[in-house]
Each structure stands twice: as structure tokens, then as C-alpha cells.
Chains A and B, each alone.
Chain A
Amino acid sequence: MSTLRFGAAVDAGLAAAMAEDDSVVTWGEDVRLLRRELLVRFGKDRVLDAPISEAAFVQAGVGAALGGLRPVVEVMLADFLATAWSALLNSVAKVTDFSGGRWRLPLVVRTACGGWYGDGGQHEQALWGSLAGIPGLKVVVPSTPADAAGLMLAAVRDDDPVVVLEHKLLSEAWLDYLGGSTRGNLALDVPAAGAAGEVPQPVRPTPIGTATLRREGRDLSLVAVGVGVHRALEAADRLATEGIEAAVLDLRTVAPLDREAVVEVATRTGRLVVVDEDYIRAGLSGEIAAVLSEDGVGARYARVAVEGTIPFDRGREHQALPNVDRILQAAKALA
């Protein structure tokens, strides 16, 4: 075990994958600076800077994977994935099915996502729900350093395309890159348990598609990913002081969803609140309601998610995101 920060843990997972398989190559914008420690270990041939050409360099990942590499393509921010949406939707997600299963696509798309640091509605979207809606894509969202390393390693080992979303608020490296850590005077509500933690050495893969229970509770379930897990844990602590015991389920993977875990916790507690930093419409929160409905779980249900464009102003940004007060309100309404 060693204690790693979240961003370093993602890179530790990638370093482990690169060390065990020399077909793993990574590229993206500013990657030789951002992944400088991988650069000096694995060399320029395996760590490449890409031009600001997301549509081309994500699509190039398709070709590279077809040609025998295991590419880890990094698109700086999840918001910028939209400029490569056709590559993701029409190529990355389709190759295996179109080839009748004859050609697998071991491609990882890595991207930083999420807000709580006031970067405006075009640079801090979550988007995992939109990604998870595309058949053929696996989508993972770690909330701890151990899972950041473990899910990255599992993603690279996976023979199918996986999108790895790393939340910027958990990543000291991203906050530093974006200029944040030069200013001690900016108040950021960074969850300590997500920002740094124990990571097994050597890195152990976290199985894709499995949720984990972060807190046990009999009265209510809070289901979340990423920073939402930590907001849910904080809300659960506050609920406990009022005698409400809330379980917190960290989904870790948004696609494929761990249906069994969701159904189990909802059945056991009878009440479920989804805490989702992504948009409320046609996304993760609605998907969980559908799962409960399909499986005949009669649990009471509520959701705390993002309902509109995320405002730049920090105060209104906080209101728009699934903050602890909003979670408490939703939880108590079910109690």
C-alpha cells in the first residue's frame, strides 16, 4: 500500500498497464506535460502530444486499436468529448458489433470532468449519463484513489472500449494545472477521502461493472458516483445525527450498471435517493428509476441532479450541483 493523490493514482494505474504491455500508447492535448512522469519512463514513442483536433485523434484511436495497439486517448475535458462525438458514437461504440464480434476495440478514452470549482457550464459538465446511453461503451467514474488506479488498469486490460472519467475536484493535479493551487485563497470543498488515499502496490484492478457499499444503513439508500459519493457520505453523517441511518452505494461504473447492487440496497432500505452531478433528464438518475421499476422494487425514490446550465457564479453553481443540503432535503422528504 502507498498513499497517493487521486490524479497520481490514475497515472499509477496507467503506468502499471504500460509496464505490463508495450502496446499501450497514450496521446492527447498537453499529454507530454500532464503525463510527464509517464513520458520520462516510457519515452516519446508511447506518450504523444496531440494537436487540438479531438475528432481526429479520438478517431485515430479506433484505427490504432484495430491495428494492434491498446491506445489510451486523453481528451482534456469531458466537455470537449462533444467535438469527437461522432468518433465515439459511430465508430468506437460500433466496431465490435458491426464486425459481428470479429474485431474487438481495446481503446480507453480518458477525460477530466466535473465541477465545484467555478469554471462555467462549458468546462465542468459530468456527461457520464450521455456517454452511458451509447451501447458499446463502458463508462467508469472512480471516487477514490484506489479505484482511480484500479479502474484505469482494468480499463486498459479490457478488450472493449472504456471511458474513464476523472473528477477534477478530486484531482490535485487537475486543480493545479488549471491554476487553482497557486491561490491559497480560493475555497474549494475537496473531499479528503477522495483526494488522497491508500492504493495497493502493485495496483489491483477494480472490476468494471461492480458497485461498492461505502456505508451501511437500514433506513435509506444514497446512490452516487464520483464527488457525489462524498457528498452523500457527508449527508449520511448528518442524517445519522437525526437518527436516520443511510447506506451509501458507490456505483463506480455507470455502464454497465450494477443492477443487482442497486436493487439489493433499495429493497433492503425501501427508500432511495440518487445523487448525480450529471443532467437530470434521460440520464443516470432516470435509469436507476427504470431499474427499480423493471425489477418490481417498490422503494420510494427521489433524485438530486443538475437541472440546467451550470452557472459560473460560485453561489449559484453550488445550488445547481448536488450539494449536501439538497441531498438532505430529498432524503428527509422520503423519510
Chain B
Amino acid sequence: MADHNAAGPSRTGPQLPTEPAADPAPERRSRTYEVMARVRAVESLQSELWDRGLVSGELHTGVGEEAVAAGVVGQLRDGDAMALDHRATGPLVVRGVDPAALLRETLGLENGLCHGMGGHMHLFAPDVLAASDGIVGSSGPTACGLALAGRHRRPGTVAVAFFGEGATNAGPLLESWNLAVAWNLPVLFVCKDNGWAITTRRRDVTGGHLVRRARSFGLRVRSVDGWRVEAVTAAAGTLLDAARAGRGPGLLHARVRRPDGHFLGDAMLRVLTDPVAQMKTLAPGLWSSARTSGGAPLRGRAGAATHLGGRFAALAADRAFRRRDPLAHARRRLPPEVADMVDARVAEEVAALTADLEAELSAGPVGGAR
């Protein structure tokens, strides 16, 4: 492990400017779009590998969260730390971690980022002080500890915690908000609010208002459209500056979409993407159970069926992703010829990555695929 008390991060991937404000605006926009496009491309590759049966278990992508990753992580400096959740790939790519190492870890290869021990949900990059955790809500308390260590060992640095709004019902996360305020820790909490806790609607399990809730803890809060990278960057910048200067922790509330569902193969999503096959599987059991004697009266059963229907309808409405695709938005902010150039560069990178991976895959069985 690197001695991160002394050494700065040694990055293998492309660098983002550490002082984005010093860049001329068009150049900055182009770099931001490029890193977002790289994140999308790496996660698309992950999805493809999963589809092919080369990745076992669950796979959570951060598609829809690219602007949050780029807008927040793009502003981090040497010595800053990150506590990540189960969608950690994007922030790590933005931080400059080698995409090839991330993809190999997704495949469970010995030469992956963590030697194939953790997989995509448990990614650790000590040289950039980034640790992820698959237990919902853990990132908040971990970031508090990283920030405390930062205050001792790396003054002027911050720690960032990423989590979804579902995590704001986990006790330890709420406790970490109080801890950060009570100890005046340089923490930025980043809440990616996609409106769904796994496959349950936020409104069915969350009371009150998240922004007001965070403010009542004494956090400095900004709420933004998470698909607009310029909005994320501006709000995160303000909060990071305050935290860095010792003026207290902040929370960035970013409204995002989740077009891939909670994880790939999301059962709720499949009902929408493959309705005929799914209804063939689901309908007989539902129908026979609804008609079995012993249980609720008819009105209760009808209410339950209505609830299920409403849940799917809400998901369907939520899937209008294209208009709020963070990547498309970032692209629209560039002159078309610049955007084309960036796309070509990323495509070239991805082609090289794919070729390397395919070479490794042809060397032997991976991930338990047939």
C-alpha cells in the first residue's frame, strides 16, 4: 500500500485539472464531457461483460450519475478522500484510477484493482484514498473518519461521501451527519436522489423532506439537478470550499435518474422492458394467490393490486431518461466538432481496453460463465 500520509496520489489514468476555475471555459467543458463519456463507456463495458455471464453476482452501474461524479470528484485535490457506495466505478474513473484495473476487478481477475477479491461493489484505491462499501449508509461514517484523519495528517483536505437517498433512512448515515457537524469535520455528503430505495418508491418509505432534514442537522445544503454538470460543479464547489476552510460540512442533494434500475436485471425494470415474458412468469402466481380463500376481504386485495400497478407506473414514468441524460447534456454544451473529437478519442480508448480484455478472456474461463 502507498504511504498516503506523505505521497500524493499516483494516478495511472488521464488527469483532470485540479484547479478547474483556472481553465478557459470551453477547454473545461470539453474535459468534463470527456471524463463523463469515459465513465459511461467503462460502465457500458461492465454491463456487456455482465450480460455475457462473465461477471457473477450483482452489478450496479452509475448510469445517470455521471454528472455528479464529474462535478464533484473533478474538483478534488491531492490528499482528498472518498467514501463510495455500491456504484463506485464512476467516481474512481473520474479520480483517475485505471479503467482497465477496474474492469479486470469486475471480472474477478488476479490483476484487477483489488486482485479479484472485492469485485465491483468493494473497490479500494489506497493511492487516491478511495474506499467503497456495499452496506447502504456506511459511506457517511467512513467519510467522517477520513475527514478526521485528514485534519490530523493532511490539513486543508476534504472527505466526500457518496450515497443514494435510500441510505438517508439508515441510522448510521444520519448519525454521521450529526457527527460531522458536532466535530466540524471537512466532509461533503453527496446524496444521489433517484427516488428509489432498491425497488421501493421513496414516497412509500421516506417521511418529510430530505433537504430540510439535512439542514436541521446543521449541514450546509445545496440541491441541484444532478444531470446538469455545471449545476453540480458550482454547488459542490461552494460546499467543498467551505468544508476545506473549516467552515463546516455540507450536503449536496442531486436529483438523478436510474435507467439501469437498482442493478442489472432489476426485476421491476424487466416488467417494463420485457412485459410479455415477465407477465407470463408473474401473472399466474399473483392471480391464483389473489383468489385463494383466507386473507383480506376483496377491497383489501384490490388495494394491494392497485399498489403494485402504481409502483410499475411510477417506474415507467421515471424511465423518460433521454431528455435528462447527463452525458447528452454535457455534449450539447460543446461545439459539435469538439464533441465529435472527444467521442473519437474515447472510442479509441475503449477499443484498446476491449482488445486487452478480450485477450485476457481468451486465456481462460472467467466469472463462472459456461
Binding site for B on A (CB under 8 A): 8, 15, 18-20, 29-30, 32-33, 36-47, 49-56, 76, 79-80, 82-83, 117-124, 176-188, 309, 311-317
Query: Does B59 count as interface, using CB distance less than 8 angstroms?
Result: yes
Docked-complex contact B265 and A41, CB < 8 angstroms: no
CB distance from A36 to the nearest CB of B (A): 6
Please state if A179 and B53 are interface contacts (CB–CB under 8 Å).
Answer: no
B172-207 Cβ-contact flags toward A at 8 Å (1 or 0): 100000000000000000000000011110001110
Is B169 engaged at the interface, CB distance under 8 Å to the other chain?
Answer: yes
Within 8 Å of chain A (Cβ to Cβ): is B211? no
Q: Which chain A residue shows the least CB distance to B293?
A: A19
| Contact assessment for B57 and A119 in the assembled complex, using a CB-CB cutoff below 8 Å | yes
The yes or no answer to B295 lying at the interface (CB within 8 A) is yes
Given A41-B292, A51-B205, A185-B53, verify A312-B117 contact (CB < 8 Å): yes
- Known A-B contacts A312-B108, A314-B108; A44 and B116 likewise in contact (beta carbons under 8 Å): no
Is A177 in contact with B267, judged by CB distance below 8 angstroms?
yes
Complex CA gap A40/B309 in Å reads 11
Q: Of B56, B198, B268, B307, which is within 8 A of A44 by CB?
A: B307
Contact assessment for B57 and A312 in the assembled complex, using a CB-CB cutoff below 8 Å: yes
Bound form: Cα–Cα A104–B287 in Å:
37
Question: In chain B, what residue has the closest Cβ to A45?
Answer: B300
Please report the C-alpha to C-alpha distance between residue A47 and residue B200 in the assembled complex, in whole angstroms: 13
Cα distance A187–B54 when bound, in Å?
10
Given A30-B200, A118-B368, A185 contacting B134 (CB threshold 8 A): no
Instruction: Tell me the complex Cα distance, A29–B200, Å.
Output: 8
Q: With contacts A179-B59, A314-B368 known, is A51 near B206, CB below 8 A?
A: yes
- The distance in angstroms between the C-alpha atoms of A293 and B77, with both chains bound, is 60
Instruction: Specify which of A20, A52, A56, A177 lies most central, judged by the most chain B CB atoms within 10 Å of its CB.
Output: A52
Interface string of B144-185 (1 = CB under 8 A from A): 000000000000000000000011011110000000000000
Q: Cβ of A122 and Cβ of B134 under 8 Å apart? A: yes
Q: Are B135 and A80 in contact (CB under 8 A)?
A: yes
Q: Which residues of A contact B133 (CB under 8 A)?
A: 122
Q: Is the CB of B58 within 8 A of A123?
A: yes
**Contacts of B202-240 to chain A: CB distance below 8 A:** 204-206
Contacts of B361 in A (CB 8 A): none
A176 to B110, CA, bound (A): 28
Report B250 CB to chain A, min CB distance, Å: 23
With a 10 A CB-CB cut-off, give which of B108, B122, B204 has the most chain A CB atoms: B108
A37 touches B116 (CB 8 A): no
Tell me, rounded to whole Å, the shortest Cβ–Cβ distance linking A306 to chain B.
14
Q: Is B129 an interface residue (CB 8 A)?
A: no
B336 partner residues in chain A, CB cutoff 8 A = none
Asked if B303 and A123 sit within 8 Å, CB to CB, the answer is no
Taking A52-B205, A181-B265 as known contacts, 10 extra A-B pairs with beta carbons closer than 8 A to each other, sorted by chain A number, are A15-B292, A18-B295, A40-B301, A43-B303, A45-B296, A54-B170, A82-B135, A123-B134, A185-B53, A312-B119
Is B270's CB within 8 Å of the partner chain A?
yes
Distance to closest chain A CB from B324 (angstroms) = 25
Q: Which residue of the partner chain, among B51, B109, B166, contacts A51 with CB atoms under 8 Å? A: B166
Q: Are B368 and A188 in contact (CB under 8 A)?
A: yes
Q: Does the CB pair A186–B56 fall under 8 Å?
A: yes
A55 to B166 CA separation, bound complex (whole angstroms): 15
Which single residue of chain A is at the shortest CB-CB distance from B57? A119
B45 interface residue, CB < 8 Å from A?
no
Least distance between A6 CB and chain B CB atoms (Å): 15
Interface residues of B in 105-121 (CB under 8 A from A): 108-110, 116-119, 121
- Which chain B residues (27-86) contact chain A, with CB distance < 8 Å? 50-53, 56-59
CB contact under 8 A between A179 and B58, given known A29-B200, A43-B304, A185-B53: yes
Q: Which residues of A contact B18 (CB under 8 A)?
A: none
A-B contact pairs, 16 of them (CB 8 A): A40-B305, A42-B300, A43-B296, A43-B304, A51-B205, A53-B170, A120-B134, A178-B58, A180-B265, A184-B53, A311-B116, A312-B117, A312-B122, A313-B110, A314-B368, A315-B108
Q: Which residues of B contact A311 (CB under 8 A)?
A: 108, 116-117
Q: Determine whether B351 belongs to the interface, using a CB cutoff of 8 Å to chain A.
A: no
